[in-house]
Structure 1
């Protein structure tokens, strides 16, 4: 069957994550893309070590999975606008240390991101990932009933008003408040996924504010259980590729004032929906 059947894969935990061994991302074939896509759907995040790829090769690898996004935090004059550089050190403490799914403030949040480690601290700076299908499955039946068919509101300004030094109204003019189902159906696997996060979700629509807050707090905590997680220790030239539709991630900001530099290319996704189970 070609390279797809030959991929050597080592799971990180029973819940989520796998390392793909023995591949060279400077030599990408259709068979490799097919195999990586299948592994991504199964494990929700896949990892590669020792990939000395150029920015152009990084972009080309990501583009093999779909159209690419440009993040509003990317400098306007950057040569490769598809690359979002995330750099922290003595003058910038890492701030991605909350469980979240990326860009849920978009009408069509991303399919996934491919993150490459450029420079990493000797200790710390790991990224954790949580399987949000498993998180949903472990919710009490009463909670599942409460969130069935519910809609949540997502707001870019919750994070990026401060980071981009813009007023919320400025951001909302270009990125208006967005509504997505609290539980989304994965468009490729059909799995049900908890799709609210502490970074960008502001409230559940048409619900009493206090009830909304309490319910969201419970849903956010569904990612906190180590039994639905994996933890990846970075080395220079390591790569993580996560399915943003199926998992949340948390970048541990425990390395200050050491330097951590990452580069991310993100693949555009589709509009989240909820499909009733046929069971």
Structure 2
């Protein structure tokens, strides 16, 4: 049987790829062979793009579960399998405005493994999602910076009711807010490649550094994460479904006209192998106070 057709989204940086644009109708049943091919493409390219999709929430969930269980950790997901990222839906979350580069759920010991977004309503201008390859970001760092990073860790926390584009502080978040510690460098156990692992807006501390040194290092790392050489810009079209690795890739959103509707259906996927993939990460929620 013929393999799934796809096109690699190539980067000009060292011949690297941004992901794979896959030619497959996800409204059709997923056979074992197709499922295995999709998982292999995801592991190789980190991002899968499917155009012109018309599929249900149930079908999106079924696809997402190929990679792990659906996460119910956020308030919007307590009793649901999907959430709407929307500025017009009554139950929409993270509806409008700019979002800086980040990986989701870094304030838990095991961040999300993957995320899927299906475009239902898209503004005429703006609202693009950018993806930064954290492996390429690490590779690009000057040698003197690379020598400083091994052994450094960050303390991550988050206030669900706070500003998503300002660095959180332990003093400002509720006492029961999740808190986790992660190394700044994460090694992909499947490939052995190193990735920079830092979400600025949830970072309250880089352990062992003074404030001035901490601020300078975060600013330097942010510049590399935002470097267009390491970023894929996705201009959404209704019917697009993008599914990506939440750790190998960081994502950001550009602002758009709030008078125009923007709605995407989101499926967050937990990491069933979190202990193996994040052996140095710690849950410090109860110790934060």
Shift of 1:43: 1.9
Instruction: Answer whether contact 2:27 2:56 (CA < 8 A) is retained.
Output: no
Give the equivalent residue in structure 2 for 1:27. Answer: 29
Is 1:8 the counterpart of 2:8? The answer is: no
Shift of 1:168: 4.8
CA distance in 1, matches of 2:32, 2:208: 46
1:107-155 CA-to-partner distances (Å, cap 9, x unmatched) read 1111101111111112322111111100000100110111112111111
Aligned partner (choices 180, 186, 195) of residue 184 of structure 1: 186
Unpaired stretches in structure 1, ≥5 consecutive residues: 275-279
CA distance in 1, matches of 2:252, 2:141: 21
Equivalent position SS for 1:122 = coil
The alpha-carbon distance between structure 1 residues 273 and 192, as it changes in their structure 2 partners (threshold 3 A), is farther
Shift of 1:237: 1.9
Give the equivalent residue in structure 2 for 1:121. Answer: 123
CA distance in 1, matches of 2:55, 2:138: 36
CA distance in 2, matches of 1:154, 1:72: 16
CA distance in 2, matches of 1:45, 1:111: 12
The farther-off stretch of 102-111 and 8-17 is 8-17
Instruction: Answer whether contact 1:93 1:253 (CA < 8 A) is retained.
Output: no
Equivalent position SS for 1:218 = helix
Is 1:87 the counterpart of 2:86? The answer is: yes
Aligned partner (choices 58, 68, 71) of residue 69 of structure 1: 71
CA distance in 2, matches of 1:143, 1:186: 20
The alpha-carbon distance between structure 1 residues 187 and 266, as it changes in their structure 2 partners (threshold 3 A), is farther
CA distance in 2, matches of 1:215, 1:105: 20
Instruction: Answer whether contact 1:186 1:245 (CA < 8 A) is retained.
Output: no
1:35-62 CA-to-partner distances (Å, cap 9, x unmatched) read 2222222222110012211111111111
Equivalent position SS for 1:161 = coil
Shift of 1:178: 0.7
Instruction: Answer whether contact 1:47 1:239 (CA < 8 A) is retained.
Output: yes
1:90-113 CA-to-partner distances (Å, cap 9, x unmatched) read 998614521111111111111101
The alpha-carbon distance between structure 1 residues 90 and 56, as it changes in their structure 2 partners (threshold 3 A), is closer
Unpaired stretches in structure 2, ≥5 consecutive residues: 165-170, 281-289
Give the equivalent residue in structure 1 for 2:161. Answer: 161
CA distance in 2, matches of 1:197, 1:189: 22
TM-score by structure 1 length?
0.86
Aligned partner (choices 199, 204, 207) of residue 206 of structure 2: 204
Give the equivalent residue in structure 2 for 1:277. Answer: none
Instruction: Answer whether contact 1:115 1:262 (CA < 8 A) is retained.
Output: yes
CA distance in 1, matches of 2:247, 2:173: 27
CA distance in 2, matches of 1:263, 1:199: 23
The alpha-carbon distance between structure 1 residues 189 and 75, as it changes in their structure 2 partners (threshold 3 A), is closer
Aligned partner (choices 173, 176, 192) of residue 176 of structure 2: 173
1:192-222 CA-to-partner distances (Å, cap 9, x unmatched) read 0000022212221121111111111111221
The alpha-carbon distance between structure 1 residues 245 and 103, as it changes in their structure 2 partners (threshold 3 A), is same
CA distance in 2, matches of 1:192, 1:75: 31
Instruction: Answer whether contact 2:5 2:23 (CA < 8 A) is retained.
Output: yes
Give the equivalent residue in structure 1 for 2:167. Answer: none
Give the equivalent residue in structure 1 for 2:114. Answer: 112
Instruction: Answer whether contact 1:185 1:193 (CA < 8 A) is retained.
Output: yes
